[in-house]
């Protein structure tokens, strides 16, 4: 309700069903229809630009190079060397998280291909990251704790970034790092990373074609470490 408390004359938000939070509509003076069909969520957010009288820009990959310019020298140090891959075992919801054993198998395969592998982690994910490192073995390293700037620098210098439906994956894609996202229970067409150096492996069912305020769907099949490795190698070969 903070939006309403601002006292702004015009308070614009998404209409239902594009809006996830139904009660948020009580604070709006106007609503905007999002993108139709199975569109990316960014396309829906860009539709709001028209509500303030601006021309809607084309959907294009985000450019995070400005952030790397600021923090590129803050990459955390460790026992690994370049070229390295960053594996992200965590996500914002349990339904988005791959089994630690699967991630470890992928990390082991990447190490066998000649990449050093760094397992990145955030708050509440340290024990999971440790389990991946211990199971993966030689050539796989635990990243130290990082703030956002240090994480950005780590991702920006990677030869490959691999993770689930999680924010750091999109951050890596914005840097132009080869980025592979694994979707287990959310629709990659709505939430997938954008960019020419991205790839997706999806085990999730497709969401309905009708607009929605969420990308969450249901698991359709298991995703194997072999499938992820094949996609990662294909991405690296581009």
What is the C-alpha to C-alpha distance for residues 31 and 39, in angstroms, rounded to an integer? Answer: 19
Domain boundaries, the chain: 2-52, 65-236
51-73: pLDDT as tens digits? 777 777 778 899 999 999 999 89
| Residue 13: predicted pLDDT | 86
Checking if the pLDDT of 88 tops 60, the result is yes
Taking the model in full, what pTM does it have?
Answer: 0.89
95-130: pLDDT as tens digits? 888 999 999 999 999 999 999 999 999 999 999 999
Which pLDDT band holds residue 2 (cuts at 50, 70, 90)? low
- Range 65-236 has CATH code 3.40.50.2000: yes
What does the pLDDT average to over 156-178? 96
């Amino acid at each position: 309700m903070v939006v309403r408390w601002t006292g702004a004359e015009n308070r614009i938000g998404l209409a239902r069903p594009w809006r996830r939070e139904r009660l948020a509509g009580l604070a709006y003076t106007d609503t905007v229809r999002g993108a139709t069909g199975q569109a990316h969520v960014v396309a829906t957010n860009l539709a709001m630009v028209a509500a303030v009288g601006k021309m809607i820009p084309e959907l294009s990959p985000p450019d995070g190079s400005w952030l790397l310019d600021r923090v590129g020298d803050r990459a955390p140090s460790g026992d690994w060397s370049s070229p390295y891959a960053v594996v992200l075992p965590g996500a914002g919801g349990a339904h988005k998280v791959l089994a630690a054993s699967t991630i470890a198998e992928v990390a082991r395969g990447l190490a066998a291909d000649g990449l050093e592998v760094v397992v990145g982690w955030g708050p509440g994910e340290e024990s999971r990251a440790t389990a991946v490192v211990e199971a993966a073995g030689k050539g796989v390293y635990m990243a130290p704790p990082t703030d956002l700037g240090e994480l950005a620098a780590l991702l920006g210098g990677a030869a490959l970034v691999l993770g689930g439906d999680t924010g750091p994956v999109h951050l890596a894609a914005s840097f132009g790092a080869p980025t592979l996202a694994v979707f287990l229970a959310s629709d990659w067409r709505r939430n997938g990373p954008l960019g020419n150096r991205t790839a997706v492996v999806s085990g999730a069912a497709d969401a309905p074609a009708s607009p929605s305020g969420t990308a969450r769907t249901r698991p359709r099949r298991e995703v194997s470490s072999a499938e992820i490795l094949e996609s990662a190698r294909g991405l690296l070969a581009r």
